[in-house]
């Protein structure tokens, strides 16, 4: 049989593709549930970290009526959750930082005060803008307990004003979201 003809090579390639795909399908069926579960748990943990008083969360999808704020045009609200026991709102937002997109999660309680913040993703410069991601940095530790007015006046990190202001804009947007959600629930 001429191994270098046209049919045999294609057949061999096809068989190898099918076998490999089959093996992958099997491995995927084992791995996928674990991956999905881990993602679910991680998201829940992030929410609980910024709003520990909540017992459970429900996602809010209706954000109609959110004011159009030209100063916050780079901020996108990704996901909003409200605590089942009325403890407050958790918002995930993205905004334009210095090196790229910054993603944060903010927990605001029913009194309109920040409970916690976390930086989920960023590409800021290491040692400069990346300091906003340090949970123990004075920039971040000033936020819990602040209401909207106080947060507007929060001190930025010198040398990283773009990153810090991006964070502040997202926090402001989170306040707007939390007010909207509180208004709808009332």
Distance CA 97, CA 103 (A): 9
Query: What are the CA-CA distances from residue 35 to residues 22, 27, 32, 42, 162 (Å)?
Result: 20, 12, 5, 11, 35
Query: Looking at beta carbons only, is 5 or 183 nearer to another protein?
Result: 5
What minimum distance in Å lies between the beta carbon of 184 and another protein? 29
Nearest distance from residue 3's CB to another protein, in Å? 5
Q: What minimum distance in Å lies between the beta carbon of 155 and another protein?
A: 21
CA distance 167 to 95: 8
Q: Looking at beta carbons only, is 20 or 150 nearer to another protein?
A: 20
State the alpha helices, DSSP H only, in the chain: 7-50, 138-141, 148-152, 161-185
Of 99 and 112, CB closest to another protein? 99
Q: List contacts with another protein (CB under 8 A).
A: 3-4, 8-10, 12-13, 16-17, 20-21, 23-24, 27-28, 30-32, 34-35, 38, 73-74, 96-100, 125-127, 162
CA distance 143 to 138: 9
Comparison of 87 and 139: residue with beta carbon closer to another protein: 139
């Amino acid at each position: 049989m001429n191994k270098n003809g046209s049919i045999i090579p294609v057949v061999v390639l096809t068989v190898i593709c099918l076998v490999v795909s089959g093996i992958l399908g099997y491995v995927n069926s084992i791995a996928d549930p674990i991956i999905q579960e881990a993602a679910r748990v991680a998201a829940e943990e992030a929410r609980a970290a910024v709003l520990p008083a909540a017992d459970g969360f429900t996602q809010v999808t209706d954000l109609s009526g959110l004011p159009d704020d030209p100063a916050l045009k780079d901020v996108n609200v990704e996901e909003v959750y409200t605590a089942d026991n009325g403890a407050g709102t958790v918002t995930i937002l993205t905004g334009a930082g210095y090196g790229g997109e910054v993603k944060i999660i903010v927990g605001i309680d029913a009194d309109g005060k920040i409970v916690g913040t976390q930086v989920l993703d960023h590409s800021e410069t290491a040692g400069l803008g990346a300091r906003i991601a340090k949970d123990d940095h004075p920039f971040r530790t000033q936020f819990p307990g602040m209401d909207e007015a106080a947060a507007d006046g929060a001190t930025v990190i010198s040398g990283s004003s773009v990153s810090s202001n991006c964070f502040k804009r997202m926090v402001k947007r989170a306040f707007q979201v939390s007010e909207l959600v509180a208004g709808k629930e009332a």
